[in-house]
């Protein structure tokens, strides 16, 4: 199809400061007009988006796909399809696949699978150090040429501060963005829960907030030294927000995101040794949760990611400390954005920005907006439609969500990927 | 999802599993202790066997080594006429890669009525209770640093035999609270029974960060902490924790937190001294105290059998009355 008309939807495009009901015109995979019908336009296909919201396709800064290496948990096909049908048109996958994405061959393998899946666009994040071992730098420039968008040591923080410094220096010389999930490995100490009252009560090894705070302080000091662009991902502490705020005031090149579920859960939810709530960083206190929400409201935290980590059932069956951390979160991203609006006094446009425009800005992506001339990656959703999180509706291979069996509000109805209509 | 406390009860509000002291009420703890009292008094008779659990199969499933707890569970089950199988999994199937759930499924297939489980990870007993077939009961014989409810109950029983009224008691728990499932269960039991004060005494490295949320007062000094104390509970200090980042050395620990006759003299004159065992003489407790007149350590062991008999018979009655 070469022309597409989306009529009467509420167009929300934070990048262009648009929140208004109207039509959107697409021709040859690109957005050619908003609100005003171009003189020579005749629609070959029309979508009636009345009572629906039409926004840029969502961008997820962190979604594990598990392929190569852990296809018992998920595949590139299963997860990019689940993403696309949930409105996510672009996602970044961390480098901790098996083998680790530290050579162009792995990047190419991933992108080849992505191309065949014909679903969401995947922007691989390359390993910052070889094998994520924190000792030798990976070939970042070659990885970038192969398609890596940024570099990270993912869930394996670099222990050696000299190696961390060199990594940041090297990345900075090539203007590459480094993504850090801040965690001091010594203080993390194989913990599985926030070091708070539940850890005391259940005798579970806690992860203190100091683990995250020290890691951020260390990285910020090295950011100042090296000038490297750093994106901090999945913050969990109130104090972390204050550190990022101060760094931004100092004009350091830093950005930050928070994982969506950290805006809804605290350690109190862990009343039952429920392994679906085993996440890293752990759910912390109400004070921390409020701090993260405040960070979003004040713009200190730029974006929200799903931190999608699909697991096979076995990974979550066992005594709590022996289960694997993470939540399958692609499909709940949009409903939770809507929940953010109703529960935390954020406007819909503001909330959508966290998973479109703002996420794009962090990685200098051209996606994430409805600008004239841009590739048509669009999410159309019904904000009122309720849907049950169950076998019938779930697409990800990982069913490890705390919302299983619940009803959520907000359903993607159509997604436009590069001008092609996909019905959810 | 079931709350840990509600998981323990069947639809008739009877105790189906004993996983944690948390969620039990004073009446139930008292009932268990009262029943244990009658079992304890029968222990001196020539024939020690009762037919309460005849035809029942109990598996002692120990993923961690234990002598005292496993033996007293075995004796308790045998005195109730149950068939008992001891499985030491530390040297068995899981070392061949079998998952916890698969081990349980295999044993279930052998029509077991009750599992007594010890495991190195907190939450293991809850996990098993959530996943066993209906009608099978689980008794937690210690999971990680989380809970050891039968130990706490036998400790309460021991205290009651010496002190009667909990509401006037100040109890000190001394040592490695952080890694102690015994301490967590004792604290919960003492709270439920209405102890006047529960005081934990340890260096900060051996205390959970939010220990006061458990309802205790805290002291880092043994001399100060022992004042006005009626019951002194010493905890075992694991060998691997004696020197390293938690503590400088055995001798430094003993000089600060070891219970000597001089230190014990600070507590009330009629204070009793308890220890869940096995004791490290000269590390947390001096031999003169462990073997002294105020020590009730060996009574704890023999009461352990009576308490475990009381718990097993109570749970088995509940599962028999459970509508199928």
CB A272 to CB B119 under 8 A? Answer: no
CB B123 to CB A274 under 8 A? Answer: no
Please check whether residue A353 is in contact with residue A14, taking contact to mean a CB–CB distance below 8 angstroms.
Answer: yes
Pick the CATH number of A56-362 from 3.20.20.140, 3.40.225.10, 2.30.42.10, 3.90.1170.50: 3.20.20.140
Contacts of A322 in chain B (CB under 8 A): 100, 121
**Nearest residue to A398 (alpha-carbon basis) of A316, A336, A280, A277:** A316
**Euclidean distance between CA atoms A20 and A36, whole angstroms:** 13
**Euclidean distance between CA atoms B265 and B171, whole angstroms:** 15
Active site residue B118: yes
Who among B100, B123, B181 is closest to A273 (CB)?
B123
Active site residue B72: no
Query: Touching check for A287 and chain B: CB below 8 Å?
Result: no
The domain defined by B4-148+302-321 carries CATH number 3.40.50.1370: yes
Predicted pLDDT of residue A330: 98
pTM score of the predicted model:
0.94
**Nearest residue to B47 (alpha-carbon basis) of B78, B74, B73, B82:** B78
Residue with tokens 């999180």: A389
Q: Which helix (H) or strand (E) holds A205?
A: none
User: In a 3-state reduction of DSSP, which class is residue A375?
Assistant: strand
Contacts of A208 in chain B (CB under 8 A): 209
Tokens of A39: 């003189």
**Nearest residue to B171 (alpha-carbon basis) of B151, B201, B212:** B201
Q: What pLDDT digit, counting tens, does each position of B264-282 carry?
A: 999 999 999 999 988 999 9
Q: What pLDDT digit, counting tens, does each position of B11-55 carry?
A: 888 999 999 999 999 999 999 999 999 998 877 788 778 899 999
**Nearest residue to B145 (alpha-carbon basis) of A80, A205, A208:** A205
Among the residue ranges A178-182, B42-46, B302-306, the one predicted with the least confidence is B42-46
* Percent of residues in chain B assigned helix, strand, coil, to nearest 5: 45, 15, 40
Q: What pLDDT digit, counting tens, does each position of A272-304 carry?
A: 899 999 999 999 999 999 999 999 999 999 999
Tokens of B305: 């059998």
Contacts of A196 in chain B (CB under 8 A): 209-210
The answer to whether residue B95 scores a pLDDT higher than 50 is yes
Could you tell me the sign of the dihedral formed by the alpha carbons of B266, B268, B271, B274, in that order? negative
Tokens of A349: 């446009």
Q: Do domains B4-148+302-321 and B149-300 have the same CATH topology?
A: yes
User: In a 3-state reduction of DSSP, which class is residue A319?
Assistant: coil
Report the mean per-residue pLDDT for chain A.
Answer: 97
Select the more confidently predicted residue: B70 or A377. Answer: A377
Q: Domain B149-300 belongs to what topology?
A: Rossmann fold (3.40.50)
CB B126 to CB A273 under 8 A? Answer: yes
| ipTM over 0.90 threshold | yes
Predicted pLDDT of residue B302: 87
Q: What pLDDT digit, counting tens, does each position of A102-157 carry?
A: 999 999 999 999 999 999 999 999 999 999 999 999 999 999 999 999 999 999 99
CB A321 to CB B2 under 8 A? Answer: no
Axis-axis angle for helices A238-249, A286-297 (nearest 10): 30
Please check whether residue A389 is in contact with residue A403, taking contact to mean a CB–CB distance below 8 angstroms.
Answer: yes
Sequence ranges of the domains in chain A: 56-362
Sequence ranges of the domains in chain B: 4-148+302-321, 149-300
Residues with Cβ within 8 Å of A297's Cβ and at least 6 positions away in sequence, in order, are: A344, A346, A350
CA of B208: how far to CAs of A210, A279, B6, B53, B318, in Å?
15, 21, 25, 40, 35
Predicted pLDDT of residue B1: 40
* DSSP secondary structure code for residue B90 in this structure: G
Active site residue B179: no
Residue with tokens 């009877």: B14
Could you tell me the sign of the dihedral formed by the alpha carbons of B7, B10, B14, B16, in that order? negative
CB B122 to CB A271 under 8 A? Answer: no
Active site residue B196: no
Of A192, A196, A203, which to mutate for an interface test with B (greatest number of B Cβ within 10 Å)? A203
């Amino acid at each position: 199809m070469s022309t597409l008309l989306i009529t009467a939807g509420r167009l929300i495009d934070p990048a262009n400061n648009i929140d208004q009901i109207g039509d959107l015109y697409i021709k040859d995979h690109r957005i050619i007009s908003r609100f005003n019908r171009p003189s020579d336009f005749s629609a070959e296909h029309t979508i009636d988006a009345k009572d629906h919201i039409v926004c840029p396709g969502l961008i997820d800064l962190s979604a594990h796909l598990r392929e190569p290496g852990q296809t018992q948990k998920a595949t590139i096909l299963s997860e990019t399809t689940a993403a696309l049908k949930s409105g996510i048109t672009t996602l970044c996958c961390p480098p901790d696949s098996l083998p680790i994405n530290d050579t162009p061959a792995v990047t190419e393998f991933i992108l080849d699978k992505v191309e065949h899946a014909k679903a969401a666009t995947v922007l691989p994040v390359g390993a910052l150090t070889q094998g994520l071992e924190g000792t030798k730098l990976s070939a970042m420039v070659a990885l970038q040429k192969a398609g890596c968008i940024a570099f990270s040591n993912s869930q394996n923080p670099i222990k050696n501060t000299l190696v961390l410094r060199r990594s940041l220096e090297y990345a900075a010389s090539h203007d590459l963005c480094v993504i850090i999930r801040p965690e001091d490995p010594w203080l993390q100490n194989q913990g599985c829960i926030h070091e708070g009252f539940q850890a005391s009560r259940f005798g579970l090894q806690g992860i203190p907030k100091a683990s995250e705070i020290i890691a951020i302080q260390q990285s910020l000091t090295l950011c100042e030294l090296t000038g490297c662009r750093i994106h901090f991902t999945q913050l969990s502490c109130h104090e972390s927000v204050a550190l990022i705020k101060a760094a931004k005031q100092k004009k350091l090149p830093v950005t930050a995101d928070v994982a969506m579920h950290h805006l809804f859960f605290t350690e109190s939810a862990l009343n039952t040794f429920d392994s679906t709530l085993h996440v890293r960083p752990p759910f912390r206190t109400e004070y921390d949760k409020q701090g993260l929400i405040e960070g979003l409201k004040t713009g200190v935290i730029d974006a929200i990611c799903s931190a999608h980590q699909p697991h096979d059932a076995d990974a979550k069956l066992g005594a709590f400390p022996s289960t694997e951390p993470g939540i399958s979160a692609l499909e709940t991203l949009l409903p939770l954005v809507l929940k953010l609006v109703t529960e935390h006094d954020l406007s819909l446009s503001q909330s959508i920005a966290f998973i479109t425009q703002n996420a794009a800005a962090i990685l200098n992506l051209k996606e994430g907006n409805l600008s004239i001339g841009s590739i048509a990656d669009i999410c159309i959703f019904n904000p009122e439609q309720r849907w049950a999180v169950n076998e019938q509706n779930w697409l990800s291979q990982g069913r490890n969500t705390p919302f299983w069996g619940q009803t959520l509000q907000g359903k993607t109805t159509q997604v436009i990927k590069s001008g092609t209509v996909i019905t959810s | 999802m079931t709350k840990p406390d509600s998981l323990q009860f069947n639809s008739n509000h009877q105790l189906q599993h004993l996983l944690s002291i948390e969620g039990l009420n004073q009446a139930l703890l008292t009932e268990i202790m009262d029943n244990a009292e009658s079992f304890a008094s029968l222990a001196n008779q020539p024939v020690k066997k009762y037919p309460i659990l005849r035809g029942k199969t109990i598996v002692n499933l120990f993923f961690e080594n234990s002598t005292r707890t496993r033996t007293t569970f075995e004796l308790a089950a045998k005195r109730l006429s149950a068939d008992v199988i001891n499985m030491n999994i530390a040297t068995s199937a899981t070392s061949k890669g079998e998952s916890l759930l698969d081990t349980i499924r295999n044993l279930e297939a052998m029509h077991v009525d009750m599992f007594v489980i010890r495991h190195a990870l907190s939450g293991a007993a809850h996990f098993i209770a959530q996943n066993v077939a209906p009608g099978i009961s689980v008794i937690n014989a210690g999971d990680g640093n989380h809970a050891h409810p039968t130990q706490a109950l036998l400790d309460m029983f021991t205290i009651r035999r010496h002190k009667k009224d909990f509401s006037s008691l100040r109890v000190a728990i001394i040592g490695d609270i952080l890694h102690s499932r015994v301490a967590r269960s004792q604290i919960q039991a003492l709270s439920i029974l209405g102890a006047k004060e529960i005081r934990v005494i340890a260096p900060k490295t051996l205390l959970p960060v939010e220990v006061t949320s458990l309802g205790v007062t805290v002291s880092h000094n043994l001399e100060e902490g022992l004042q006005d104390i009626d019951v002194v509970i010493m905890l075992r200090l694991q060998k691997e924790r004696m020197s390293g980042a938690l503590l400088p050395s055995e001798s430094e620990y003993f000089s600060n937190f070891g219970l000597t006759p001089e230190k014990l003299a600070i507590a009330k004159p009629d204070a009793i001294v308890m220890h869940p065992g096995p004791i490290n003489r000269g590390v947390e407790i001096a031999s003169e105290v462990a073997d002294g007149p105020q020590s009730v350590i060996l009574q704890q062991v023999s009461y352990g059998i009576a308490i475990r008999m009381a718990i097993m018979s109570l749970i088995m009655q509940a599962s028999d009355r459970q509508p199928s």
